[in-house]
Amino acid sequence: MIDIKLIRENSELVKENIRKKFQDDKLGLVDEVFLFDETYRAYKKEADDLRGKRNALSAKIGELMREQKKDEVAKIKDEVVIINEKIAELEKKEETLDKEIKDRMMVIPNIIDSSVPIGKDDSENVEIEKFGDPVVFDYEIPYHADVCEALMGLDKEAAGRTSGNGFYYLVGDIARLHSAVLSYARDFMIDKGFTYCVPPFMIHSDVVNGVMSFEEMDAMMYKIEGEDLFLIGTSEHSMIGRFQGQIIEEDKLPIAMTSYSPCFRKEVGAHGIEERGLYRVHQFEKQEMVVLCKHEEAMDWYNKMWSYTVEFFRSLDVPVRTLECCSGDLADLKVKSCDIEAWSPRQQKYFEVGSCSILGDAQARRLGIRYKGDENRYVTTLNNTVVASPRGLIAVIENNYQEDGSVLIPKALQPYMGGKNKITVK
């Protein structure tokens, strides 16, 4: 949610930002907010003036009572009753307008950074840099689900019976490799100075509304029936929610955390759910980075955070590239974002394994997260995927698949696999 001062003082800037995001249907919201806000402030001023008049009359009542002028006191009391009724009427109008303003402000997109390329959708994202040489093997790389099944490590058929499409059982060494990737990611980020956290996996609706747009919520979140609780789609949600309504001491910033969680997503939309594979599923696990900092520190943190994900995958000998997300591909709360994509030797192309984003003060403004300095200001929030598995697992399997059907275990993961250096066909 942007600062309403932007609409008061530079509504054309807000409209131009909407155009850059190709959301012209939202242009009218800016004018509506502007007019509602003018009326709201007029009502507020009128109510404040009446409160001042009431206070003056209340003081006068005290004087008149001391002078035993009861008739005049009665008249003033009648006037105060009328003023109170008028104030109550104005407060009700203010409350109604405040809701109308907030409902619109919640869907007006955040102001994107000037460095963001302009484009309609993800097809116009811009490659920034490649890290590592993409390898094309001289033998065929099977589909990752087939590799896992051959290694007795995947059972989607049973998961279909217990839970439906989009779920899976990981078994044996494949399950262990999946856990090894996440454990290594945890320790990798701890070594970078991030504080390790395991957050709640369910959150209240006010936190959901604070951390994401309505469109994302409808497409992603699972609601717990009969309770004000949602399953998290990423640990960023509960990690940011941890600071809801808090004023953080300035010397405590920046706060850099790395969090583990299972993640649950409906995955509603054009992509659908894969029947056989593990790329797009309803349930996965993730190691995340979350940072709260001052506005002026955000870009430095952004560049550090995505570089850590690149470094993580390169330490597993997985080639990756970074893509700058264009304006039309940015979720409404995002100021700037880039995707990290891993090389798929089977498909001979890159696929998304993580995303790094600056959200400005949008989440902080919605959740009331400030820091205490010369004046209380909203913090800036950032998040980034260290690794999400099974996608990270797929990248490791494909880039380490051998012609005999075995999978080499990268050196960095071997300590988490009991020293094992290879998974072989049984």
> Which letter, b or e, does each residue of 26-62 get, where b requires 16 or more Cβ atoms within 10 Å of its Cβ?
beebbeebeebbeebeebbeebeebeeebeeeeeebe
**Residue located via tokens 């003081």:** 59
Given pLDDT bands bounded at 50, 70 and 90, which one contains residue 270? very low
Query: Global pTM?
Result: 0.89
What letter represents residue 228's amino acid? D
Q: What is the mean pLDDT of residues 301-316?
A: 98
Dihedral Cα 148, 153, 157, 162, nearest 10 deg? -140
CATH 3.30.930.10 fits 122-423, yes or no: yes
Given pLDDT bands bounded at 50, 70 and 90, which one contains residue 373? confident
Q: Say if residues 203 and 232 touch (Cβ distance below 8 Å).
A: yes
- pLDDT per residue as tens digits for the range 132-147: 999 899 999 999 999 9
Beta-carbon contacts of 332 under 8 Å, excluding residues fewer than 6 positions away, are 21, 107, 108, 109, 110, 213, 215
By CB neighbour count within 10 A (0-12 exposed, 13-18 middle, 19+ buried), where does 398 fall?
buried
Beta-carbon contacts of 86 under 8 Å, excluding residues fewer than 6 positions away, are 50
Domain residues of the chain, as ranges? 4-105, 122-423
Please count the other Cβ atoms lying within 10 Å of the Cβ belonging to residue 162.
Answer: 8
The average confidence (pLDDT) of the chain is 93
Q: What is the pLDDT of residue 271?
A: 53
Q: What is the mean pLDDT of residues 125-135?
A: 96
Question: Residue 122, Cα to own-chain centre: how many angstroms?
Answer: 18
Q: Is the dihedral of CA 116, 207, 202, 291 positive or negative?
A: positive
Q: Is the pLDDT of residue 272 over 70?
A: no
Q: What is the mean pLDDT of residues 255-274?
A: 80
Q: Do domains 4-105 and 122-423 have the same CATH topology?
A: no
Q: Say if residues 35 and 101 touch (Cβ distance below 8 Å).
A: no
Q: Say if residues 180 and 396 touch (Cβ distance below 8 Å).
A: no
What's the CATH number of domain 4-105, 2.60.40.1220, 1.10.10.10, 1.10.287.40, 3.90.950.10? 1.10.287.40
Given pLDDT bands bounded at 50, 70 and 90, which one contains residue 80? confident
